[in-house]
Chains A and B, each alone.
Chain A
Amino acid sequence: MRLRTRGSLWPPRDVAWAALLAIAVAAAGIHGLWFQAALPGRLPSPTDWKAAASVLSREARPGDAVMLAPAWAERAREAFPGRLPFLPDIEDLTGIRRVWLLSLPDAPGGVGRFPAQLAARSASIERPLRLGELELTRHDLAAPALPLWSLTDRLAESEVDAGGATVAREVREVAFLPRTCVLARWPGPVSGPAVIRLPPGPVGSSLRLRAVLVGDTSTGGGSASARLRVDGLEVARADAAPGRVSWAPSTFDATRLPPAAREVTVEIVPDGILSRGVCVELVALP
């Protein structure tokens, strides 16, 4: 009996294969119809964007920033008030007290990892405000890192010995994300390092120095380093090399220094011919 049953099932007859294909085509087709039909209802409408923009215009205050989940939902830049900064990732929340998480909870592909990561760094989370297919949730950060100052903010008041470089505050791409930094570029032959001397002032508890090469990766090699000097003594160094694309800082623990106004210098030293720019940021934390 068992042998006969097995014999009738295996090898499968042509009609069984045909039925399998028909079921698979039908299932895929029905799923495709459902997906297309449901798609508009899973994505925000212009009204939803306007509603979210209205809430943020009313409720956002200095020290607030917006984070998008999923990160590609950058229509928000067009819809939202221009004064609100957007956070490109969860790693660097310097200068932010509260984060408005704007998510598309029903978007195909999900919202990504930001909500969970942000929740882990928050002291309190407001109840999500549902605005059609957008969700707005305010996160008050548990330990906001509010800097005493940053190199980009103090560049205008600093003394710059450019060494043949152009030195300017710019927003540049680092690992696909926007980073505001001081960019040093040597348009011609390198004649020396670019030295930025900040006016004497407090350095707080720690200094975080970052340096990375930016610009067209196809334009050749060359590397550079950013050296941080406090009162003339090198205390930290960040290397920028072609294969290294990281916004992780080199940190100098300044707690051992007696509180006083310090002379801080950042020296950007190219190693050989450098065709790309060096993006440098220094932040002093209280």
Chain B
Amino acid sequence: MRPARAIALSWGLLVLVAAAVTSPAVGISRDEGVYVEAAGSYARFWPEALRNPAGALAAADRFYGPNHEHPGFAKGLFAVTRTVLSRALGLTGEVQGARAGAWLLAAFLAMLLALWGFELAGPWGGGLAPALFFLVPRNAWHAHPAALDLPVTSLMLATTYAFWRSTSASRGRLSTAGWAVASGLLLGAALGTKHNAFFLPPLLFAAWLLGSFRGRQESHGPASEGAIGTVRGHRFPWALVAMALLGPAVLVATWPWLWHHTVPRIQAWLGFHLRHENYPWMYFGSLMREPPFPISYPFVVTALTVPAAILVAMLGGVVQSVARIVAAVRGRAPQVSIPTEWLLLLSALFPIALVAWPTVPHFGGVKHWMPAMPFLALLGARALVRTGRLLWPRRPGAVIGALAALAFAPAAWQVAHAHPFGTAAWNELAGGAAGAATMGMQRQFWGDSTVAVLPALNVHAAPRSRIWFQETPALAARQYQRDGRLRGDLLVAAGPEDADISIWQYHQEFRDREFRTWTELRTARPVAGAYLDEVPLVQVYARPGFWR
């Protein structure tokens, strides 16, 4: 096996196994509960459609009705893995079964990073790039849930990689035209996962345009010799044509809800996101409710959540990329592919810049600009490798290995330390969860930390107690019950007024709920809790007599 493939397969396997092993400790977040439920419904569609093709259209509306705020591809994958692992084989519960689809996409992302890292910087690049991505605690956390942010990140990376291969000189079995077709199909899968993939074709086009300015560089370089067409002397990548044709086709094909009233439903889907509610979000002690939001937000949150040494490597990679472009344009670096540099650089910066825009919703932590992270990882890996080669040309591996150890050891420690509370992870520059709490940053989101108090609830809650789960939706509570994680006799309460036990998940914007709990349950003293570095994430309150 070729070294690149061996490294990629090793990384894919490692991420898959690690995600599967550590997943049960990760709680069900608010969105995930909906997606798992939707996957259950979608799973019933395809057998029905195959059995009765004439009734497929009617069945599409029936089974794809749940959760049409987001498309069908990733949730369809969750449906497949859930059906196979949970229903057919009985190996997992329904939640872990659905999550397996997300683990596969996380493994796919790791493999792509290894392959691309290898092409950019050799074996060390292939080894380092996935580590730079997955040893960021929030990225590692997102590899677990059956949600959409890591899957779309993975598919956007895959699309970009296919685009790059389609525009580069042919190497390997697949022709550059084949890569162009692949980029169209992958874009469709990305669009079929989450709407932020719509930004990808313009971004790729912009990178292509910028890359066409060569300055004093004489040759075209290696990243513009593939599937390139010419119209009136202007060169263009065929991949963009494939994306325009195949992307929407795959989106519609993998989302049967669009098979009826296609255009109005696409309008409704995009309209929902264009007018999306701004959830309140804490930032340096202020609750951001309405735009304009601070431009600094994604930059600062990135700087305070990515482990510092990895952050430095990524910043080094960005600086190196800029320097390579400048040198190439000045005619001093003939070996540099300017289109490749622009592709990596824009892909690394645009998602962050997009969320920095003051009217774009700022909730959700790093997940909304996660598509930038693989590219920052690639740039960081290449920068570390180049550093090793420059500092000790005869034994670069010694330097690279030492730097990798110094960068990854504290990061791996942070990942393990924050697990399973990934959305509450802050880096050492922030002072960890404690320092971030003092600064008044968002403590966590959306209800997954409840999983940490389920064992106590199972032991101590009085029979048939009514539980107010707050940010953990009733759907998730029932999924915990069906998977045997939560006692089946416990009931879901709608608020503190009819609750015997209240599971308060710390959200500054919902603090009134905790205080209402004190009034209704006549106590301000929790009976249990979950803490990260002594910072409360969850506190459980109980009426007298309901906690035994």
A30 to B312, CA, bound (A): 13
Q: Is B72 an interface residue (CB 8 A)?
A: no
The chain A residue with its CB closest to the CB of B526 is A78
Quote the shortest CB–CB distance from B495 to chain A (angstroms): 12
A35 adjacent to B428 (CB under 8 Å):
yes
Contacts of A15 in B (CB 8 A): 390-391
Contacts of B253 in A (CB 8 A): none
A78 adjacent to B435 (CB under 8 Å):
no
A72 to B311, CA, bound (A): 27
Q: Mark A136-180, 1 if CB is under 8 A from B, else 0.
A: 000000000000000000000000000000000111110010100
Quote the shortest CB–CB distance from A235 to chain B (angstroms): 30
A109 to B409, CA, bound (A): 23
Interface centre among A32, A35, A112, A170 (most CB of B within 10 A): A32
Q: Mark B494-532, 1 if CB is under 8 A from A, else 0.
A: 000000000000001001101110110001111111010
B414 adjacent to A22 (CB under 8 Å):
no
A107 adjacent to B391 (CB under 8 Å):
no
Q: Which of A2-10, A36-44, A195-203 contacts B (4 or more CB under 8 A)?
A: A36-44
* A78-B529, A215-B512 known; A25 vs B524 contact (CB < 8 Å): no
Contacts of B403 in A (CB 8 A): 22, 25-26, 29
Q: Is A74 an interface residue (CB 8 A)?
A: yes
A75 adjacent to B531 (CB under 8 Å):
yes
* A24-B312, A35-B432, A110-B438 known; A29 vs B410 contact (CB < 8 Å): yes
Which of A22, A108, A214 is within 8 Å of B432, CB to CB?
A: A108
Quote the shortest CB–CB distance from A9 to chain B (angstroms): 17
A29 to B438, CA, bound (A): 24
A199 to B391, CA, bound (A): 85
Q: Is A86 an interface residue (CB 8 A)?
A: yes
A217 to B280, CA, bound (A): 11
Chain A, 71-111, CB within 8 A of any chain B CB: 72-75, 77-78, 80, 82, 86, 104, 107-110
Quote the shortest CB–CB distance from B365 to chain A (angstroms): 18
Q: Mark B439-452, 1 if CB is under 8 A from A, else 0.
A: 10000000000000
B411 adjacent to A32 (CB under 8 Å):
yes
* A86-B524, A107-B434, A109-B434 known; A33 vs B391 contact (CB < 8 Å): no
Quote the shortest CB–CB distance from A169 to chain B (angstroms): 8
Quote the shortest CB–CB distance from A95 to chain B (angstroms): 16
A17 to B324, CA, bound (A): 13
Contacts of A70 in B (CB 8 A): 434, 437-438
Q: Mark B384-397, 1 if CB is under 8 A from A, else 0.
A: 10110011000000
Q: Which of B89-97, B154-162, B473-481, B533-541 contacts A (4 or more CB under 8 A)?
A: B533-541
A77 adjacent to B428 (CB under 8 Å):
no
A29 adjacent to B406 (CB under 8 Å):
yes
A32 to B534, CA, bound (A): 19
A104 to B435, CA, bound (A): 12
B536 adjacent to A72 (CB under 8 Å):
yes
Q: Is B399 an interface residue (CB 8 A)?
A: yes
A273 to B390, CA, bound (A): 72
Q: Is B146 an interface residue (CB 8 A)?
A: no
A171 adjacent to B524 (CB under 8 Å):
yes
Q: Is B407 an interface residue (CB 8 A)?
A: yes
Contacts of A260 in B (CB 8 A): none
A216 to B427, CA, bound (A): 32
Q: Is B292 an interface residue (CB 8 A)?
A: no
A72 to B435, CA, bound (A): 10
A11 to B539, CA, bound (A): 57
A171 adjacent to B519 (CB under 8 Å):
yes
A102 to B82, CA, bound (A): 49
Interface centre among B316, B320, B384 (most CB of A within 10 A): B316
Quote the shortest CB–CB distance from B469 to chain A (angstroms): 18
Q: Is A257 an interface residue (CB 8 A)?
A: no
B536 adjacent to A29 (CB under 8 Å):
no
B523 adjacent to A82 (CB under 8 Å):
yes
Q: Is B417 an interface residue (CB 8 A)?
A: yes
Which of B307, B387, B508, B516 is within 8 Å of A22, CB to CB?
A: B387
B309 adjacent to A29 (CB under 8 Å):
yes
Q: Is A61 an interface residue (CB 8 A)?
A: no
A172 adjacent to B516 (CB under 8 Å):
yes
Which 6 pairs show the lowest CB-CB distances between chains A and B? A32-B410, A109-B438, A108-B431, A29-B406, A173-B512, A109-B435
Knowing that A21-B316, A31-B428 are A-B contacts, what are 6 other residue pairs whose CB atoms are under 8 Å apart, sorted by A's residue number? A22-B403, A32-B308, A36-B410, A39-B417, A109-B435, A170-B516
Instruction: Supply 5 A–B pairs (Cβ within 8 Å), ascending by A.
Output: A35-B432, A72-B535, A104-B434, A109-B434, A178-B524
